[in-house]
Chains A and B, each alone.
Chain A
Amino acid sequence: MTAVFLDGIVLGLQFGLLGVGLTLVYGLGGILNLAHGSMAVVGAIVVANSMAAGASVLLAVAAGLLAVGALGLLLDGTLMRAVYRLHGESRVLLSLLLTLGVAFVIDGLLVWRYPIGGLGIHIGGDPIEILGVRMRTGSLLASAISIGAGAILVAFFRLSTAGRAVRSVIQDEIGARLCGINPAAVRSLIFGLSGMLAALVAITRSMTAPITTTAGIDFTILALIVTVVGGLGSVAGAFLAGIILGIVNTVSSFYIGTYITTIMLLAAAGLTILLRPSGLLGRRA
């Protein structure tokens, strides 16, 4: 039982990291990035290829994160320019169309270049016992990275000037501009960061179980569910929702079966929409 919960919390932190980028990009600019998961897979691929070419784990992970961060900045500076020029519903709609197109392009390229099955990052070592639970080194490292990244992210948004600037643009863009904050720069920064966080999740997932080149859409759907449950634009909401959904995921797959998990997650999202339409910590409209 403890094992299932621990697993759920670790998975939940990964869900949170996956959702937080999506929710921030939406909160800042009204863009729902449907290429979020595909960008994450690009990160994992870069890591796997770098390691295959002989790079150390650390160097490979850095290359993967930087590659996806750069991809995010590139998208923000090119395709998303057209989106930012629109307002309201047409902005959301165009963002959905464009990012879905980007997802197709990325997925297509990945399937074409890397048709072989799963990509795994193998971390050696014997299982270690924690709280009476035997855990593999890969899982432990993945958990440590997720916890660390989550803590750094929370500290960044709470304590740093740049993090506060990001929150200020979400809460009142005009107020932020009057304080000397450039919303366009904040949006670019977060688009890049969001891609890096998603990539980090794909990389840590591939440390425990192989992921396929077509996993992008699954990551995107997971991120959307986390965002819906946590509330659009809420950092704390994304982590809270992530942990709840992570526990739902592992408990239902342990006691019922893996086939049920996606249904359970969608049910949780549906329940949230019925009971709290703006999400757990979202602003009430």
Chain B
Amino acid sequence: MLEVEDLSAGYLGDDVVHDITFSVADKAAVTIIGSNGAGKTTLFRAVCGLLPKTAGRVMLDGVDISGLSAHRIARAGLAYVPSGRHLFPQMTVSENLALGAFPKRPDPETMAVVLELFPRLAERKSQPAGTMSGGEQQMLAVGRALISKPKVLVLDEPTTGLAPKLAADAYAALAILQAQGLTLLIAEQQVPLALSLADYGYVLENGRVQLEGSAEELENDPEVRRAYLGIA
């Protein structure tokens, strides 16, 4: 569904990520794990068009989206939820959700599905997004991305700033989406959570893919256990 080939990107002429190749199969959940500064956010920003690519190709559902700007990539079916969320703080929850469907009006069925997944959003429909808690804002960011009925949902560290209980809730919601057949790509520092959900994973270090494998293989890899799972 999503294929990234030899992608390089960075800031002010210096590449931060180099020759990244990975793919996400239809209905699969893939995670990109790595520590702070490994290049996960740079990689995702380049994939979704917020950052220019210096080299490489991105294919979505067989269509080359490498050269498209962010709004075109979003309309092509790649929904990106950045870790900063980028909600519209002075708009209500409903208005934020509705804009997810831009340029169309939101489809009532999809809206019902999202509100069922996150009942909190239904309770706070007319509250300005900027006044909600971090966990609620994360739900809203995911909800807004889902309203567009994306082919792939891309999340950058969905658990940033969330208490452990809320982080687990977030992953429970993602598991429901996965079970409904949504294709997921998730960057995560909280490796145990990520591997509990994902089918396949890539380990990013210093801007390069160091290791890849099924979630099971990664869980049992001595290097991953030492560096990311805290097991000697």
The answer to whether B88 and A172 have CB atoms under 8 Å apart is yes
The chain A residue with its CB closest to the CB of B104 is: A161
Closest chain A residue to B81 by CB distance?
Answer: A178
Name the residue of chain B whose CB is nearest to the CB of A182. Answer: B71
Would B88 and A177 count as touching, CB distance under 8 A?
no
Chain A, range 208-259, C-beta contacts under 8 Å to B? none
A14-22, A72-80, A99-107, A163-171 - interface stretch: A163-171
Residue in chain A with minimal CB distance to B77? A180
Query: What CA separation (Å) do A180 and B95 show in the bound complex?
Result: 15
B103 interface residue, CB < 8 Å from A? Answer: yes
Contact at B144–A179, with CB atoms within 8 Å? yes
Question: Which of chain B's residues have a CB closer than 8 A to the CB of A179?
Answer: 71, 74, 99-100, 102, 144, 148
A178 near B95 with CB under 8 A, answer: no
Additional A-B contacts beyond A174-B82, A178-B86, A179-B74 (12; CB < 8 A): A165-B102, A167-B91, A171-B88, A172-B88, A175-B85, A175-B87, A175-B88, A176-B99, A177-B74, A178-B74, A180-B75, A181-B99
Please list the residues of chain A having a beta carbon within 8 angstroms of any beta carbon in chain B: 161, 164-165, 167-168, 171-172, 174-183, 283
Q: Given that A174-B82, A178-B80 are known contacts, is A161 also in contact with B98, CB under 8 Å in the complex?
A: yes
Distance in Å: Cβ of B194 to nearest Cβ of chain A: 22
Cα distance A83–B14 in the bound complex, in angstroms? 25
Interface 0/1 of B137-148, CB less than 8 Å to A: 000000011001
Whether the Cβ atoms of A161 and B88 lie closer than 8 Å is no
Could you tell me which residues of chain B, from 44 to 91, have a CB within 8 Å of some CB in chain A? 48-50, 69-72, 74-75, 79-82, 84-91
A residues in contact with B105, CB < 8 Å: 161
Partner of A174, one of B72, B79, B86, B148: B86
- Of listed B71, B74, B82, B90, residue having the most chain A CB within 10 A: B71
Other-chain contact of A177, B70, B91, B104 (Cβ < 8 Å): B70
Most chain A CB within 10 A, of B49, B74, B100, B148, is at B74
Q: Closest CB-CB distance, B59 to chain A, in whole Å?
A: 19
> For B72, what are the chain A residues with a Cβ–Cβ distance below 8 Å?
180
- A182 and B87 CA atoms in complex are apart in Å by 16
B side interface size, CB within 8 A: 32
Given A180-B102, A180-B103, check contact A171 B91 (CB 8 Å): yes
CB distance from A185 to the nearest CB of B (A): 9
Q: Could you tell me if A164 and B50 are in contact, using CB atoms closer than 8 angstroms?
A: no
Can you list 19 A-B contacts (CB < 8 A)? A161-B98, A161-B104, A167-B88, A167-B91, A168-B99, A171-B89, A171-B91, A175-B87, A176-B71, A176-B99, A177-B74, A178-B74, A178-B79, A178-B81, A178-B145, A179-B99, A179-B100, A179-B148, A180-B103
CB–CB B103/A172 < 8 A? no
Q: Which residues from chain A contact B50 at a C-beta distance below 8 Å? A: 174, 177-178
Taken together as a complex, chains A and B put the C-alpha atoms of A182 and B99 apart, in Å, by 13
Query: Which 5 pairs of residues, A with B, have the shortest CB-CB distance?
Result: A175-B86, A180-B74, A177-B70, A180-B75, A171-B88
Scoring B residues 102 to 114 as 1 if CB is less than 8 Å from chain A, else 0, what string do you get? 1111000000000
Residues in B with CB closer than 8 Å to A181 are: 71, 99, 102
Nearest chain B residue, comparing its CB with the CB of A173: B86
Q: How far is the CA of A70 from the CA of B101 in the complex (A)?
A: 30
- Closest CB in chain A relative to B102 CB, distance in Å: 5
> How far is A168 from B46 in the complex, measured between Cα atoms in Å?
22
Q: Report the minimum CB–CB distance from B81 to chain A (whole Å).
A: 8
